[in-house]
Amino acid sequence: MFPLFETIKVQHQKVFLFEDHLARMKHSVKTLSGRDLCIDLTENHILQEIQNKDLHKCRILYNEKEYQIELSTYNKRHIEKIVCIQDEDLSYPLKFTNKNCFLKHTKDLPATIEPIFVVDGLLTDSSYSNIALWNGSEWHTPKDPLFFGVRRNVLLNNSKIIEKEIAYKDIHQYEKVSLINAMLDLEELQIEL
């Protein structure tokens, strides 16, 4: 019923990057179905569901005509280690509700271990975020991620991260990785390499 979803950060009665997320929703529906997004979704629709100023993860499940809002208090995962997993067939061009392409790799991993996927010898993304790697002087993000995230795009536009092809064989040139997504800004969740 809802093939797509969008995750939006909400805190202190503020919906973060709403217009960017809405633009991606429109693009995703057009790409998937060839149709326009025909839902009336505003920041107020999200805010009326929230009763406090805590940090919330707003998950919007949607198709071209309907949507459903799921809200939860956000708790950042504790990740201690990164592992690289090669999967030449991995593809995730839109934010699909079906994440089996990732689950087949993560189902047996402890919650404290997060994979970074390697496709064609290049680093791409983790199972739930884009990535940025610190080389001691600047943050690099893979030029060809599995998914082009909203937060990643904002960081690129603000010159906080630099796109670069990052080969798996070159990971030793980096000190740490930062997971970035709608809920995690650059440097909020870093793991030493």
Domains 4-73 and 81-192 share a fold: no
CATH number among 2.60.40.2550, 3.20.20.220, 3.20.10.10, 3.30.465.10, domain 81-192 = 3.20.10.10
Q: What does pTM read for this prediction?
A: 0.94
Closest CA to 171 of 130, 118, 126, 129: 118
For domain 4-73, the CATH architecture is 2-Layer Sandwich (3.30)
What does the domain layout of the chain look like in residue ranges? 4-73, 81-192
Residue-by-residue pLDDT tens, the chain, 193 positions: 899 999 999 999 999 999 999 999 999 999 999 999 999 999 999 999 888 889 999 999 999 999 999 999 999 999 999 999 999 999 999 999 999 999 999 999 999 999 999 999 999 999 999 999 999 999 999 999 999 999 999 999 999 999 999 999 999 999 999 999 999 999 999 999 9
SS3 122: strand
**How are beta strands 176-180 and 190-192 bridged, if at all?**
antiparallel
